[in-house]
Structure formats: C-alpha cells, structure tokens
Amino acid sequence: MSILNGYRLVIEVLLQLLLPCNVVHSSVSWYTSTKQVVFGKDVILTCCTGHPLLNSKDCPVRQWSGGPDRNGLMYNGYSSNEEKYEEEANLTTSQFSLKIKNFSESDVNVNYTCSCGFNTFTRKLALNNTHFHYVPTAFNITVDTKYDTVKVKIDCNKIYPQPTCSVNIGNRLVFKDELPVYKKNGMFYSLKFKKEFALAVDDCNKIPVVKCELCGQCSELKSIEYLGNQTQKCAEIQNQSTLYENVTMIDVESTKDASNINTTVVTILVVSGLIVATGIIIIIVRELQKRKRDMVIKQSSEIGGQEASEILIERNINNCGVFIKQHVICYQPDSTM
C-alpha cells in the first residue's frame, strides 16, 4: 500500500505541475504562466485554487511568500515591495497571479509558496535551458574572408542558454551546432568561438552568413545575423587552383642528398685546381732556374775565355724564395795539341 500511495503522490504532483488550472481542482498549486522567462523582464506565476475567489469561504486569504528573502510577498493584493511584486487577480475565476518585476538571477532557483486560506503549495522556480533566457547586451561576430578561407569569431561575456549558431557560404551550410562554453559566469555562460572554414571552388562570389538563435520564442531578440564580405571572384579562385596544381613537390631528404653530392664535387674540383696550379708553379720555377744557369755559364765563358785553367764559378741565385747553387768548370785547351 505504501508503494501505491507513493505513486499516487507523484502523479498528483505531476498533474499539479503540468495541467492547467481549470483541470486541477483537488488542491492549490502554481505554475509559471510566462512561457519564455527573460531575465530583466516581468515574470508571472499563477496560483490555481480550485474554487472561485469571489465570496469563497475556502479562500478568505490570498497570499504569496518565499523568493530570495523567504518573506511574505503579497497578501490579498497588498505588496511587500511594490517595485518588485504585484498581484494580478480576477475574483470571478479560481486563480490569482504574482508578477515578479525585472526578473533577476536572485529570483530563480528559490522556493515560492501560494496560499489560499489554509491550503498552500510550495515548489522551486528552477532554472532550465528551455524556458529561461538571458539575452546578451553584447554579442560580437566577426567574419574574415580570404582567398581560400573564411574565419569566424564569436565573443559573448554573458548569455543563457548556449546559442545554436550556423555558418553558410551562400546557400551551402558549413556549420550548425551549439557553441561551446568558454566558462561559467555565475549561472550563465561566457562564449569564445573561433573556427576556420575552407572555401570550395563553387564558393566564389558568395556572401558568408553567420546566424545565432538566442531565444526563438522571445519577442525581444530572437536571433542575430551577420553578413561577411563577399568571397573572391570565380575566375581568381580557378586561377589560384591551377597555380597550386602546377606546383612541384620537393622531397626534403632528396634535396639534402643532392646538396651533399654537390659539396663533394666542389671540394674535388678545388683540390684538383690547387694541384694543377702547384704543378704549373714548379714548372715555371724550374724554367727560371735553367735560364739563370745558362746565363751564368755564358758569363763565366766570357770572363775566362780559353785562358782559364780551371775556374770555379759559383753563383748564388735567389729566385722566388728558392736558393740555387751552381758549379761550372771550364778547361784550358791542351798546348801540345
């Protein structure tokens, strides 16, 4: 039996939360009659009593309490804070409402109680990403169009819930998703989004469009749309594509090997050149030595003539740093002959 009673209690609570006032007559309950709650705007909570309010003995007192300070908010139409709370009631019906003005973060995730006589109902006004929205005061979108890419950047310091954004290049959808959360800002979010999209050949002469859905059912600001600069002309993109196709890919390792081979060849050529040059220098030096030697022999012959018996001619010749010593012997002709 206890299990059945538990199920019955759960069903009653769900009926009180989901069904409209003209259906639930068993007890007092309240619901959020504002379909889309926007922070900074007014929000209305409606209490269902199940009895007509006019001359009702079962509902002599209409009361709202709770909120961030857990105090009495309204009592038979009298407000504890007229700048914040106001009652809306039609005594010919079985419901009365609490208007919360300038709805703020402190007004959510707290309990509210509506009372009709001795009947009360309390529950939390809980934040959810379906019916609650914080419309940002600043939502920055930039689109940078280059010859082959489109870069999209989105910044927002405070928003709720995560917006769904799409990026189109002309009629081609290239992105659509919820933007990732950069960090929490209290119960709200901060967003920083950057993404680069490659342009196809058919994306020439197209306008990039970024659109973010903020509050589809809100009258204040449903979405934000931003148009970027037109992409390049078709002829320019085709020419650039042809240019890229004609580019020859170079193997880095092969280039290194070729460079090493070239260095070896140059070294061999330089060494060979030095050897050849050295040989030429040696030949030139030897030729100069021979000429000097012949000159010495000639001079010695002129000095001694036929009368020199045995003349030792010794000459020191210093040519290009090479010391050369020559010995020349001249003989006198035999007188007996």
Do domains 2-125 and 134-245 share one topology? The answer is yes
Between CA 268 and CA 274, with CA 273 as vertex, the angle to 5 degrees is 100
Q: Mean per-residue pLDDT for 308-317?
A: 42
Residue 199: pLDDT above 80? yes
Long-range contacts, stretch 56-61, CB < 8 angstroms, 24+ apart: 58/116, 58/117, 58/119, 59/116, 59/117, 59/119, 60/117, 61/115, 61/116, 61/117
Q: Does 194 or 261 have the greater pLDDT score? A: 194
CA–CA separation, 17 vs 27, rounded Å?
12
CA–CA separation, 222 vs 214, rounded Å?
5
Candidates 3.30.565.10, 2.40.160.20, 3.30.390.30, 2.60.40.10; correct CATH number of 2-125?
2.60.40.10
As a whole number of Å, the end-to-end CA separation of the chain is 169
Q: Domain coordinates of the chain in residue numbers?
A: 2-125, 134-245, 253-331
86-107 per-position pLDDT tens digit: 999 888 888 999 999 999 999 9
Alpha-carbon dihedral sign for residues 42, 45, 46, 49: negative
The DSSP secondary-structure symbol of 134 reads B
pLDDT > 70 in the chain, percent: 70
Alpha-carbon dihedral sign for residues 306, 312, 318, 323: positive
Confidence of residue 64 (pLDDT cuts 50, 70, 90): very high
Under CATH, what is the fold of the domain 134-245?
Answer: Immunoglobulin-like (2.60.40)
Confidence of residue 189 (pLDDT cuts 50, 70, 90): very high
Output the average pLDDT for the chain: 77
Tell me which residue of 192, 196, 169, 195 sits closest to 180, measured CA to CA.
Answer: 192
Residue 186: CA count within 13 A, CB half-sphere: 12
Confidence of residue 236 (pLDDT cuts 50, 70, 90): low
